[in-house]
Amino acid sequence: MARRQRFLKDERGATAVEYGLIVSLIFIAIVIGVANYANRTGNMYNYINNSMKGS
């Protein structure tokens, strides 16, 4: 019975889950930022390429 009580009071697993959620949110933010940067950079190079074709 004491073993069961210790198991129910142990919060180490919950802390690990919380850290995992924080890391996953940071990862998602980084992926969105990199994708946005890549999209804008690609658009810039396409604009430059099209401008040079026209001249």
pLDDT tier at 4 (50, 70, 90 boundaries)? confident
Against a cut of 0.75, is the pTM above it?
no
Residue 47 has pLDDT above 90, yes or no: yes
**Tokens at residue 15, please?**
């802390």
Residue 55 is predicted with a pLDDT of: 60
Alpha-carbon distance values, 24 to 2, 17, 30, 37, 47 (Å):
35, 10, 10, 20, 35
